[in-house]
Structure 1
Amino acid sequence: MQNTSLGGLEVSRIGLGVMGMSDFYTGKGESEESSVATIRHALDLGVTHLDTAEVYGGFANETLLGRALKGRRDEVVVATKFGLVSHTGRGGLDSTPANVRLAVEGSLRRLGTDHIDLYYQHRVDPDTPIEDTVGALSELVAEGKVLHIGLSEAGPATIRRAHAVHPVAAVQSEYSLWTRDPEAEVLPVLRELGIGLVPYSPLGHGFLTGNIRSLDGLDADDWRRTNPRFTGGNLERNLRIVDEVREVAAEAGASPAQVALAWLLAQGEGIAPIPGTRRAERLEENVAAVGIALTADQIGRLNSLTPASGDRHDRGGMAVVGL
Structure 2
Amino acid sequence: MRTRPLGPSGLDVGAIGLGAMPLSLGAHPTEADAVRVIHAALDAGMTLIDTADAYCHDHTDIGHNERLVRLALASWPRRDGVVVATKGGLERPNGAWISNGHPGHLRWACEQSLKALAVERIDLYQLHVVDPRYPLEDSVGELARLHAEGKIANVGLSNVSVPEIERARALVPIASVQNRMSPIDRQPLHDGVLAYCEQHGLAFLAYSPVGGSYGVRRVAHHAVLCHVAASHGATPHEIALAWLLAKSPSIIPIPGASRVESAVSSARAAEIALTEQEIRVIDAS
- The answer to whether TM tops 0.5 is yes
Q: State the 1:192 CA deviation.
A: 2.2
The CA deviation at 1:193 is: 2.0
Q: Which residue in 2 is equivalent to 1:55?
A: 54
Structure 1 Cα separation of the partners of residues 215 and 227 of structure 2: 12
Equivalent pair of 2:210/2:219 in contact (CA under 8 Å): no
Alpha-carbon shift at residue 7 of structure 1 (Å):
1.7
> What is aligned with 2:277?
297
1:266 alignment partner, SS class:
helix
**Alpha carbons 1:86, 1:94 under 8 Å: kept:** no
Aligned to 2:257: 277
What is the CA deviation profile of residues 227-278 of structure 1, one whole-angstrom value per residue up to 9, with x for unaligned ones?
xxxxxxxxxxx57961221111112222111110000000121211111112
CA distance in 1, matches of 2:8, 2:41: 22
Write the deviation string for residues 167-187 of structure 1: whole angstroms up to 9, x where unpaired: 111110110000100111211
Pairing partner for 1:17 from 13, 16, 19? 19
Task: Report the equivalent of 2:3.
Answer: 3
TM alignment of 1:152-171, pairs within 5 A: 152-171=158-177
C-alpha contact 1:153 1:172 (8 A) present in aligned 2: yes
Aligned residue for 1:78? Answer: 84
Any idea what SS the aligned residue of 1:8 has? Answer: helix
Calculate percent identity across the aligned residue pairs.
Answer: 40
TM-score (norm 1): 0.79
Task: From the superposition, tell whether residues 189 and 164 of structure 1 become closer, same or farther in structure 2 (CA, over 3 Å).
Answer: same
Q: CA–CA distance in 2 between the matches of 1:86 and 1:265? A: 33
Could you tell me which of 194, 197, 214 is aligned with 1:187?
194
Match in the other structure for 1:69: 73
Report 1:84-123 matches (<5 A).
84-85=90-91, 92-123=98-129
Following superposition of structure 1 onto structure 2, how do residues 141-156 of structure 1 map, counting pairs within 5 Å?
Answer: 141-156=147-162
Deviation digits for residues 66-85 of structure 1 (CA, Å, limit 9, x no counterpart):
11111543221111111112
Do 1:16 and 1:47's aligned partners in 2 also have CA atoms closer than 8 Å? yes
Matched-pair contact (CA < 8 Å) for 1:138–1:166: yes
Partner-residue secondary structure (3-state), 2:25? coil
Deviation at 1:303, TM superposition (A): 0.5
**CA–CA distance in structure 2, aligned partners of residues 152 and 82 of structure 1:** 10
Q: Measure, in 1, the Cα distance between the counterparts of 2:219 and 2:255.
A: 20
Name the SS of the counterpart of 2:126 in structure 1.
Answer: strand
Distance 1:75 1:240 in 2: 33
Q: Is the 8 A contact 2:219 2:225 kept in 1?
A: no
With 104-113 and 125-134 compared, the bigger mean Cα shift is at 125-134
For residues 265 and 243 of structure 2, the distance between their equivalents in structure 1, rounded to whole angstroms, comes to 15
TM-score, length-scaled by structure 2? 0.89
DSSP 3-state at the match of 1:69: helix
Q: What SS does the corresponding residue of 1:269 show, helix, strand or coil?
A: coil
Structure 1 residues 67 and 239: alpha-carbon distance in aligned structure 2, compared to 1, 3 A threshold: closer
Structure showing the higher helix proportion among its residues: 2
CA contact (8 A) 1:123 1:152 kept: yes
**Structure 1 residues not aligned, in runs of 5+:** 213-237, 306-323
